[in-house]
Structure 1
């Protein structure tokens, strides 16, 4: 097992964070806010650019977009070809944003300011030891290197939940960028065309509010979980959209230990060996009771037939789940201690544990992409996991490359083999 390691704090913002998305291999978006009450706490998005200075990860603020009185509780990003869209949950509605990407001169960005969408002039801020990432050569250079800048423009807004206390709880966009799924307090899953956001199908999926949704990598399947304890797999393609009254393809049946009642909390699909049509399904489940003695569960499923392949118990309830884009690693965040863990996807072996990464429960996780768009962040890590919480902090947790044998042991083994070989040759007089 790799030694425990946490790069820790990347950036601190001035509002609670509820959702986290990657825009490119180097750019991450965080969102949240203080709500509609007049607390003085802002609502909106911030985008950071990630880099590695040879010792640690660094984040630099690229832009900020405030959303007025509307807190952003959930969001999804679709970045295909030259168009990037952001779908954000704001109360009972889903607000669509167009994200315009442009290249700007690096030296100009360092010297000056840029204009945000709301018309305010904001100077780009350096965060958490960014100065370590800028050498004297960079400071004195007149380089014309180009860097990415973003502009967020509001577009259409649609109501996606119609319960008594309507609230969109989750939004997901299919990998091909053609479908959007939303879920809220009314227990219904709604499928929309994207980016037009025209309603294609309403699924009477659950009797209580939706907790999470996810599309399969091949776009044909959708998983939903809710507070009624159910977890179901649905047809999400053209055939599924046409079958208005069709039931679930598969209903997941958990096998909790000791007969304890568990509720599903989060769900994510993950690739197998980087193949689009071969994938796994991961879920988190928490005990119905709030006793600290009960353990949370990480579960690995075969989505083709709904069989439970593996279960790992964790010492506390779980709150956040992420799978890296190549399917190799799974990230988990906890409810009470604010801890973060990384697991190997196929075996659910824990390879990194960061105790107390946040002072409160973890609200979102995303891996620094292994594939994605644009050049990756060069680092000495096998994996890097980003985490957020309502403690206003964006953190990173990196996993060193694992070695099957310590270097000192390998050296001793080589010496031993050479000694045995020499002894054997001497014995036979060779």
Structure 2
């Protein structure tokens, strides 16, 4: 009985440790390709294990069927349009791994959280170690850098969401034990230092904003601030991102961007990327184009950069209006679930989702990471209910 009980704790921990390390770390940055293949293999084994549990137990949560529909729509579109169906298969397994792990081990959620904390913190501190031991990665001008590939996501622009999730799971670990303050404090320092060192001011600003939202002492003002931020994000998405280069002809939008936000009207050529994305979306609005690779983006969109640099436009490219509607539904469902619990850690998760949406106005992060933070919000009511005052000692 004791062995069986321990297995019920070890398996969810390992599943989430494999997921978080695979989703957050790029071992090609340090020339350890074997580690990358090993993590991919462990992730696939974990995914097949959970699929086996579905077949054996003949059960699955109704809301997880929506995730299956999301990955299936994009897979079908990938096959139809000849885009990167193979890599989308790996992405799909990552997505379903975290969803099914939380479903089958929902009575052991704290071990799932501990597994996520283990993996994301390894990535976080490995990145800090890389920067400390190789100062040429951040002390020299960008044009003179010889090494530009980072452990935490490859490109420095991809660090933001990984750092945010690492911070969030460390906050959630405080519900398990106050001893995790010994991990939280150095992780906060690392989460702020890393984007500053590599020059990602967007990530640094967003991480500091997240911490400031969490530090608001009044629960009412904390939630009100998050609501205001969501309103700003929606306004920006509609007035700016969905306008593309057309923003330059909208007097109100020009005033909003240049005078209120004090930003370049093109947002470092992002308006060109958004405009290019809107034009290609209009040619296949229902199913999109599947999961594009770099060559597809260069052939079909602007060459200023790779991809649309906006999560909603990316979703429309991947799976058209159908995938877009599913994503919005899943986002709203997660927000409603976490908002149903009125406490500090729930408010931190709400703040984290708002900050992730803010960052994804300008960037596209891997979908498994996006769904990771939504899954944490989905299951937060159960995590909160499981952690009695005795557990929180």
- TM bucket by the smaller chain? under 0.3
What's the TM-score, normalizing by structure 2? 0.26
Higher relative contact order (CA 8 A, sep 6+): 2
Structure richer in helix, relative to its length: 2
Q: Computing the radius of gyration over CA atoms, which structure comes out larger, 1 or 2?
A: 1
Between structures 1 and 2, the one with greater strand share: 1
